[in-house]
């Protein structure tokens, strides 16, 4: 097979697996080599590769590559478990690993992993086409965290919709990007992607939302999701709930864009979705070193009633 190339990784089953180290963006664009699944687990935990969809796809490819190169390996189940537990909130990781492990032969595992890559790429395009109709010329759109080609195998979820509206549908729009504290995935990654795409955009601090909305600078919001419960509650990057509440106050449409496999019907509501706890050092290395109390959840839950529409590759989700 040919090498799979995306903005975020380069993969061939019999060669080295390269991922773009996203912790170095936007200052440096550096690809690092992933030689085994243990290195992939570490890369996921350290956010060198991130984004709900992309984590699942790259972890699946890594596991399948290991199985393909080591057909007699007896530690595959243990490695699969380590990958599944690398980050708990996003559903894609455990879902993809589980499906790959159901395949009996190394070739079947590899084909399944590649199929997930293809499905995610296709789903991104379908979501973009369907949700672009929600964007009108001269819209001023706010987005949060990173939901583009650095977070998926394709053009992205929420950011993919924006790319579709601007490039393919030729709509003149302006995008506002929240920095997305504490790791600044918005300022480091999303704003960087928008610069590469030459889409008009402005970077703002997270605490500017109410001010800008009160001035009518923003009229629509598009975000992604890492897991969606049966009733439509969504788990997404910490701060999304704040954004939804403020949007509701100013009567601004709040759209969630995510592939259908993000919907996890084993959770009737979002109240029991597991929330990843991140390192205290991400907020303050100084106070973490001095063992002071720091709270750092990686995600929060946005209730369905705050969401205008949830868009998947199959259309609008009706719970």
pLDDT digits (tens, 9 = 90+) for 186-214: 999 999 999 999 999 999 999 999 999 99
pLDDT band at 235 (very low <50, low <70, confident <90, very high): very high
The active-site residue out of 115, 120, 169, 226 is 226
Which residue did the predictor score with more confidence, 88 or 240? 240
| Closest to 236 in 3D by CA, of 127, 121, 89 | 89
- Decide if pLDDT at 304 tops 80: yes
* Residues 6 or more apart in contact with residue 318 via CB below 8 angstroms: none
pLDDT band at 90 (very low <50, low <70, confident <90, very high): confident
User: What does the pLDDT look like over 158-174, one tens digit per residue?
Assistant: 999 999 999 999 999 99
Rounded-to-integer distance, Cα 62 and Cα 17, Å: 8
pLDDT band at 246 (very low <50, low <70, confident <90, very high): very high
Q: What is the mean pLDDT of residues 66-77?
A: 92
Q: What is the pLDDT of residue 2?
A: 85
pLDDT band at 89 (very low <50, low <70, confident <90, very high): confident
Rounded-to-integer distance, Cα 263 and Cα 261, Å: 5
Q: What is the mean pLDDT of residues 169-189?
A: 98
Q: What is the mean pLDDT of the chain?
A: 96
* Residues 6 or more apart in contact with residue 51 via CB below 8 angstroms: 8, 146, 147, 150, 151, 152
Contact in structure between 52 and 151 (CB atoms under 8 Å): yes
**Alpha carbon distance, N-terminus to C-terminus of the chain:** 40
- Decide if pLDDT at 73 tops 90: no
Contact in structure between 69 and 79 (CB atoms under 8 Å): no
User: What does the pLDDT look like over 125-150, one tens digit per residue?
Assistant: 999 999 999 999 999 999 999 999 99
Does residue 226 carry a catalytic annotation? yes
Rounded-to-integer distance, Cα 305 and Cα 270, Å: 12
Whether the upstream peptide bond of residue 26 has omega within 30° of 0, thus cis, is: yes
What is the DSSP secondary-structure string of the chain? Answer: -PPEE-SSEEE-TTS-EEEE-GGGTTT---EEEE-SHHHHHHHHHTTSS-SHHHHHHHHHHHHHHHHHH-TT-S-HHHHHHHHHTSSSS-HHHHHHHHHHHH-SSHHHHHHHHHHHHHHHHHHHHHHHHHHGGG--TT-EEEE-S--STTTSSSS-SHHHHHHIIIIIS----EEEEE--TTTTHIIIIIHHHHHHHT--EEEE-GGGHHHHHHTT---EEEE--SEEETTS-EEEETTHHHHHHHHHHTT--EEEE--GGGEETT-SSGGGS--PBPPGGGT-HHHHHTT-----BSEEEE-GGG-SEEEETTEE---
């Amino acid at each position: 097979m040919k090498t799979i190339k995306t903005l975020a990784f380069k993969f061939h089953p019999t060669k080295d697996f390269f991922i773009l180290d996203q912790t170095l963006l936007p200052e440096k664009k550096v690809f690092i080599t992933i030689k085994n699944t243990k290195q992939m687990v570490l890369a996921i935990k350290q956010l060198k590769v991130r984004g709900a969809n992309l984590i699942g796809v790259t972890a699946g490819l890594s596991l399948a590559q290991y199985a393909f190169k080591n057909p007699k390996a007896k530690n595959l189940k243990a490695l699969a478990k380590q990958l599944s537990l690398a980050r708990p909130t996003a559903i894609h990781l455990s879902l993809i690993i589980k499906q790959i492990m159901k395949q009996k032969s190394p070739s079947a595992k590899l084909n399944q992993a590649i199929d997930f890559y293809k499905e995610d790429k296709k789903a991104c395009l379908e979501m973009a086409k369907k949700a672009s109709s929600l964007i009108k010329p001269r819209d001023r759109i706010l987005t949060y965290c990173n939901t583009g080609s650095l977070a998926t195998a394709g053009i992205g979820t929420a950011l993919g919709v924006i790319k579709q509206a601007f490039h393919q549908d030729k709509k003149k729009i302006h995008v506002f990007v929240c920095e997305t504290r504490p790791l600044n995935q918005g300022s480091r990654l999303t704003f960087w992607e928008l610069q590469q795409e030459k889409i008009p955009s402005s970077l703002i601090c997270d605490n500017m939302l109410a001010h800008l909305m009160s001035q009518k600078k923003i009229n629509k919001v598009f975000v992604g999701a890492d897991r969606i419960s049966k009733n439509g509650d969504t788990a997404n990057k910490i701060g999304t709930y704040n954004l939804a509440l403020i949007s509701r106050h100013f009567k601004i449409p709040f759209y969630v864009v995510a592939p259908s496999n993000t919907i996890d019907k084993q959770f009737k509501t979002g109240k029991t979705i597991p929330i990843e706890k991140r390192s205290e050092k991400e907020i303050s290395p100084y106070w973490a070193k001095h063992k002071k109390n720091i709270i750092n959840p990686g995600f929060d839950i946005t209730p369905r009633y705050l969401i205008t529409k949830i868009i998947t590759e199959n259309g609008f989700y009706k719970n």
